């Protein structure tokens, strides 16, 4: 038995922040941002919107598509690094808002690779027959931990949520067939939120120094990203005896167009097979993969049996790849 994606949904907040808007905040320009990243604009959560609010909308859209009542969901697993609260989990908050009493609920922390990690956990429960369905959500409100004075990072990120509903299948050549995850904790200082945790708790001094904001060594992340994504994609393709020609579509974390172009070129996969939306949303962290999957699905990209290569990488560093047979 395997787990099959039977519903997808996504949500991006209303407010759009364009590259021209960023020119007013930091020393940058539209041309630099477009050519170095591929991003034109990103969506930013309203002050009253937290991660669970965006997650709830994406989840409801995915449940509607799957024809599954909120009350019947058996597990809710959320990938996020910007939860509503340090605790409890955003998954528990979403369960409450859905009015569900049945599901167990917890969050998974793997930054931009969070939804792929959440998917791998949910897959184990569903494919083993332990539960009949699972709601997997990737959501981040990175705007809340972005330093809007740091032009190296603030141009990249946007807010959003994506959701997937999993159900078991016995159909041959369908469902999640391989997922591989990796981490390299020696690279923590490359991309992290230094303050606000137990190492550097919230104090006036911490906040004044700006350590509550995401910190990133962009160029180093870039190099690790291209190398690691290529490696993990080769690993999942080899596990299934797939060549580049055997991949119908690619759904990738939308980090930077140059990272994706370089990875696809190394793999010999044409760009036309990879759904791109980072020009509209920027890097939405854990939301990126399920938002992208939902857009491509609603645009009519997938038919049963299509072989979808998924990939994501984020802070940790933590990364993964998967083969999803639609
Ligand atoms: O999910 C994982 C999350 N993180 C990522 O995916 C980030 C991966 N890294 C990247 O996407 C890229 O490294 C960046 C987009 C962050 C930066 O692009 P880059 O081509 O690596 O630029 P750079 O850092 O090498 O900077 C080149 C120049 C520097 O000026 P000098 O030293 O050559 O005079 C920077 O100061 O561009 C300058 N620069 C900017 N100029 C205009 C850096 N940021 C900006 C900016 N606007 N926003």
What is the C-alpha to C-alpha distance for residues 56 and 94, in angstroms, rounded to an integer?
6
Closest residue by Cα to atom 41, ligand 1, is: 28
pTM: 0.97
Q: Which residue has the tokens 């159900």?
A: 167
- Let me know if 253 is a catalytic residue: yes
217: CA distance to ligand 1 center in Å? Answer: 9
Closest residue by Cα to atom 47, ligand 1, is: 28
Closest residue by Cα to atom 38, ligand 1, is: 152
Closest residue by Cα to atom 21, ligand 1, is: 219
What pLDDT score was predicted for residue 33?
98
Report residue 290 as tokens.
């399920």
DSSP state of 35: H
Q: How confident is the model at residue 16 (pLDDT cuts 50, 70, 90)?
A: very high
27: CA distance to ligand 1 center in Å? Answer: 12
Catalytic residue among 100, 233, 283, 297: 283
What pLDDT score was predicted for residue 138?
98
152: CA distance to ligand 1 center in Å? Answer: 5
187: which residues sit within 8 A by CB, 6+ positions away?
224, 316, 317
- Let me know if 112 is a catalytic residue: yes
The domain segmentation of the chain, as residue ranges, is 2-169, 175-325
Q: How confident is the model at residue 119 (pLDDT cuts 50, 70, 90)?
A: very high
Catalytic residue among 253, 274, 277, 297: 253
What pLDDT score was predicted for residue 157?
98
What is the C-alpha to C-alpha distance for residues 254 and 49, in angstroms, rounded to an integer?
23
Q: Which CATH superfamily is domain 175-325 in?
A: Thiolase/Chalcone synthase (3.40.47.10)
pLDDT per position as a tens digit, 35-58: 999 999 999 999 999 999 999 999
Q: Which residues line ligand 1 (CB under 6 A)?
A: 28, 32, 36-37, 112, 151-152, 155, 216, 218-219, 221-222, 225, 255-256, 259, 283, 313-314
* Average model confidence (pLDDT) across the chain: 98
pLDDT per position as a tens digit, 131-190: 999 999 999 999 999 999 999 999 999 999 999 999 999 998 999 999 999 999 999 999
126: CA distance to ligand 1 center in Å? Answer: 41
What pLDDT score was predicted for residue 19?
98
Closest residue by Cα to atom 18, ligand 1, is: 36
153: CA distance to ligand 1 center in Å? Answer: 8
pLDDT per position as a tens digit, 227-249: 999 999 999 999 999 999 999 99
Burial 210-241 (b: 16+ CB within 10 A, else e): ebbbbbbeeeebbebbbebbbebbeebbeeee
What pLDDT score was predicted for residue 242?
98
Catalytic residue among 19, 112, 117, 233: 112
Identical fold at 2-169 and 175-325?
yes
231: CA distance to ligand 1 center in Å? Answer: 24
Asked if the 2-169 domain carries CATH number 3.40.47.10, the reply is yes
Please give the share of the chain, as a percent, with pLDDT higher than 90.
100
Mutate to test the pocket of ligand 1, among 116, 217, 218 (most ligand atoms within 8 A of CB): 218
Got the DSSP string for 94-120?
HHHHHT-SS-EEEEE--GGGHHHHHHH
What is the C-alpha to C-alpha distance for residues 323 and 85, in angstroms, rounded to an integer?
33
By DSSP bridging, strand 215-216 and strand 191-192 are antiparallel
Q: Residues 199-208: what's their mean pLDDT?
A: 97
pLDDT per position as a tens digit, 243-275: 999 999 999 999 999 999 999 999 999 999 999
Atom of ligand 1 nearest to the CA of 315: 2
Q: Residues 59-71: what's their mean pLDDT?
A: 98
């Amino acid at each position: 038995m395997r787990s099959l994606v039977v519903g997808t949904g996504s949500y991006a907040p209303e407010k759009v922040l364009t590259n021209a808007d960023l020119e007013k905040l930091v020393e940058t320009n539209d041309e630099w941002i477009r050519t170095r990243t591929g991003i034109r604009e990103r969506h930013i959560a309203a002050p009253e919107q937290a991660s669970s609010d965006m997650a709830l909308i994406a989840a409801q859209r995915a449940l509607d598509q799957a024809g599954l009542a909120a009350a019947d969901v058996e597990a809710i697993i959320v990938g996020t690094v910007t939860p509503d609260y340090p605790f409890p989990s955003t998954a528990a908050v979403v369960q409450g808002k859905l009015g569900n009493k049945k599901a167990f609920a917890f969050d998974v922390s793997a930054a931009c690779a969070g939804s792929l990690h959440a998917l791998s956990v949910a897959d184990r429960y569903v494919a083993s027959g332990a539960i009949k369905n699972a709601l997997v959500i990737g959501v981040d409100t990175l705007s809340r931990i972005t330093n809007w004075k740091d032009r190296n990072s603030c141009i990249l990120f946007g807010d959003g949520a994506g959701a997937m509903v999993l159900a078991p299948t016995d159909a041959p050549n369908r469902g999640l067939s391989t997922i591989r995850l990796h981490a390299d904790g020696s690279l923590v200082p490359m991309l992290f939120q230094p303050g606000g945790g137990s190492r550097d708790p919230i104090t006036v001094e911490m906040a004044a120094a700006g350590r509550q904001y995401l910190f990133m060594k962009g160029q180093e992340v870039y190099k690790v990203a291209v190398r690691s994504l290529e490696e993990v994609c080769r690993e999942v393709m080899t596990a299934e005896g797939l060549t580049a020609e055997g991949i119908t579509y690619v759904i990738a974390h939308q980090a930077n167009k140059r990272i994706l172009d370089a990875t696809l070129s190394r793999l010999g996969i044409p760009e036309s097979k990879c759904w791109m939306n980072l020009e509209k949303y920027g890097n939405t962290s854990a939301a990126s993969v399920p938002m992208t999957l939902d857009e491509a699905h609603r645009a009519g990209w997938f038919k049963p049996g299509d072989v979808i290569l998924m990939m994501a990488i984020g802070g940790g560093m933590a990364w993964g790849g998967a083969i999803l047979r639609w």
